[in-house]
Chains A and B, each alone.
Chain A
């Protein structure tokens, strides 16, 4: 099979380790050049001035470029091959957004520039807000949160402030499914709430009976993704949101899985009061090796005045900053990750109605197809139609051949595919979670399923040493014990020896 998503031709194979930039340093070399000082020199008298030069590498520009280009070659990426990473929505990131994000005043506005001089930037945020509230079925949005976890914290602080304003400070519990992302409980704790876990039923959905038992006068709210982290649509979502609302709590939508439902249905119509979106997932902005992201929060109108601000408002002839009256405050030093928001706007404008109406449908089509072909190789965790992602499990292979999800993931790396998400959600044994996104071809999906079959057969062989996988990459499996005993976190000789436990 020759599919576009298979990166097995990558020159990642073999080779010696790349030295650090510090090892390439030689005294007297430099890349930087500056114009000569064009003002008269004055003596600087300040007790904070240092007497020596800082410690930094000294390299030529060509050495610098070669070093970081070689490191780039040692990295998998969306532009290189297929990432079937569940819960991460690793879709194609349109190159055109790079051009727009590089335009002069978009890229180079100082964040303190008055609104009179940045009408274009404010209009970008206003336009994006219009798209976002239409897609999510909400009324107002803020772009302050720089990532999903910050969006979650924003939502929870809004719930907290709302309860305070309504003299409901007895409400201290946030209910989170046992299948939720770790950021959910971590954010709830940061906002000062107690975390209460609701279980998942045998079909893979929120256990309604358990939920009813957990909900009481202390319930502040519920955090939920829909589809959930098992990739299943919570069919009883209206009943779930009603249960919370009847007890005076608010319902929070974690936008991690929004890609499944864009154009199909909307959180706002399911009873959610607060929604965060991950622009770096659903709206195709690049992940950057782990960031930057952007986690705008959209709310129903009754929560508008609680939003972190300032937010953009459209007046008759201009756009202005507005600080909501009961605002929880600021979540970011300025306006959030503006250039990420701009890239998301580029994506939405290119897709437009035709693209956005069918976005969720194609994301689900690819996942449903992949689940169908993969189920012939590895059993699925749930016998329900999946949305944009699904979970398979190798718990039987673990029993019969000691093959763990980890081993399957590592063996896939050798074959030119990124591993699926493994061991998540935590409630499924030996979980492999696949999310193909809508931008992969059916050939690539077939190729992945075929490759999985080859791997599973290979790993069950007589003389196989599972630890040897991956075999064809610049490095093999990292030794997990070394960092615990002999941790090196910078290129000095510093070791955290006392951390040995």
Chain B
């Protein structure tokens, strides 16, 4: 399958190599290691035969759940224009752009990606993508530790539990303390005191629970103690929230799924990473820069290469090689499609619709735990176990949210949700949780 050789081709190749069969290629491999009967796998299928197999497999997923789950991944509308352009085979099937002369397309898109993220976050230098939001947080912590040579990491507890698990896996806790600070009334305490031992302060905007606050004064206090400040931002809210750079942050990371990638069951998405120029040498992953060619024509190239694993080996700033370029292409095209008005609109509509939903839930005697401080995502208390409620809501056609605690559900609203869907959700929740 996909091997192009005809009998005539094979004859020619065998003659060139003076062999009479494919097996003759492997006379140097110890006989004991060879697979004599081949692999125990099913027979080959033609495309035509396998279509129904895959369609059947897909149909085993519950269909058409209306998505009220968030937690970093959001059901933001992904326009066909963005999908079609991102999947152009010249982008999709190209390799890493080491050969600049025949890779100006992908290099320029990545340069635009870096620029858009810098503009949006008020940072000076972005890399060309990391794996996802969670691993970007861990990479940012690593930059802060390398910069400050300090051992203590201060991280807000208002993070997706999975993100915290990734941090716990990737930050060596035999060497470094990871200190989780609880939110107070769903906000990070303004009076938190940073120490001279703290390498990094990481906080989410908005917090995982959906509440948001201006973090300027907290960032100011952290920086006064010499701490590197890291903001984990929600890209789809950056059109309506103050930029992390304007609040003073040193590094901005994000789960970039909502900008250019379908939900994809969590992957592939893209991790955004942007920072200030002072930290340039410590940035993980690829960076694209503008240069000139021998004729003084504008040329994009991969740059600051001395940070990377293929050159620095064990002294590299990170081991990352393959990244999420195609998803970064998606982010670039989606942000350009949205423009300032569009990015503002999806944030604004999400907040307005969430506001309507919170009020409706309160009117129906549900307790919205962070009603005032939350924006597009919030916590609802349930009488039944959250797990049970989510399963029963599923049979009514809703992905009700993410279980937050035994009797608390994290509910997210995007611009895609309609008043009718919200009304039906609340009605269904009344039936489920009062039954």
Contact = CB atoms under 8 A, between A and B. Distances in A.
A298 to B, nearest CB: 14
Contacts of A351: 1-2, 44
Contacts of A494: 124-125, 277
B238 interface: yes
B26 interface: yes
B341 A353 contact: no
Contacts of B23: 361
A308 B169 contact: yes
B47 A350 contact: yes
B355 A121 contact: no
B236 to A, nearest CB: 11
A260 B96 CA distance: 22
A90 B95 contact: yes
Contacts of A373: 16
B35 A352 contact: no
Contacts of B294: 467-468, 476-477, 479
A280 B322 contact: yes
A288 B91 contact: yes
Contacts of A369: 13, 16-17
Nearest to B88: A72
A291 B291 contact: no
Contacts of A264: 26, 29, 34-35
A264 to B, nearest CB: 6
B334 to A, nearest CB: 9
Contact of B81 (A61, A357, A474, A487): A61
A441 B4 contact: yes
A48 B206 contact: yes
B57 interface: yes
Contact of A39 (B29, B63, B75, B422): B422
Contact of B17 (A337, A353, A372): A372
A106 B346 CA distance: 24
Nearest to A474: B104
Contacts of B112: 20-22, 491
Contact of B124 (A292, A479, A490): A490
A228 to B, nearest CB: 13
A117 B26 CA distance: 47
Contacts of A482: 291-292
B145 interface: no
A492 B111 CA distance: 11
A39 B165 contact: no
Contacts of A292: 267-268, 322-327
Given A42-B355, A492-B115, A120 B57 contact: yes
Interface in A32-70: 32, 34-35, 37-42, 44-50, 53-59, 61, 64-65, 68-69
A401 interface: no
A397 interface: no
Given A349-B45, A439-B4, A146 B132 contact: yes
Interface string B100-128: 11111110111110111011100011101
A238 B30 contact: yes
A92 B299 CA distance: 29
Contacts of B92: 77, 79, 93, 286, 288-289
A288 B92 CA distance: 4
B65 A113 contact: yes
A150 B322 CA distance: 9
Contacts of B422: 39
B9 A441 contact: yes
B243 to A, nearest CB: 7
A56 B166 CA distance: 32
Contacts of B345: 32, 34
B434 interface: no
Nearest to B104: A74
Interface string B303-314: 110001111111
A94 to B, nearest CB: 7
A442 B136 CA distance: 44
Nearest to A491: B115
Contacts of B91: 72, 75, 77, 288-289
Given A120-B59, A293-B322, A438 B2 contact: yes
A401 B99 CA distance: 23
B39 A339 contact: no
Contact of A20 (B77, B115, B175): B115
A308 to B, nearest CB: 7
B314 A48 contact: no
B52 to A, nearest CB: 12
A134 interface: yes
Contacts of B391: 114, 116
Nearest to B327: A292
Contact of B60 (A119, A157, A287, A480): A119
B318 interface: yes
A379 interface: no
A418 interface: yes
A362 interface: yes
B29 A50 contact: no
Most buried by B among A42, A72, A114, A356: A72
A146 B44 contact: no
A85 B212 CA distance: 48
Nearest to B330: A288
Interface stretch (A180-188, A209-217, A244-252, A456-464): A180-188
B255 A333 contact: yes
A355 B4 CA distance: 12
B363 to A, nearest CB: 13
Nearest to B55: A103
Given A54-B344, A68-B109, A442-B12, 7 more contacts: A48-B214, A48-B215, A120-B57, A120-B58, A183-B319, A489-B287, A489-B290
6 contacts: A79-B93, A105-B61, A112-B402, A263-B35, A489-B114, A491-B115
6 smallest A-B Cβ distances: which pairs? A334-B266, A111-B266, A288-B326, A352-B44, A75-B105, A329-B169
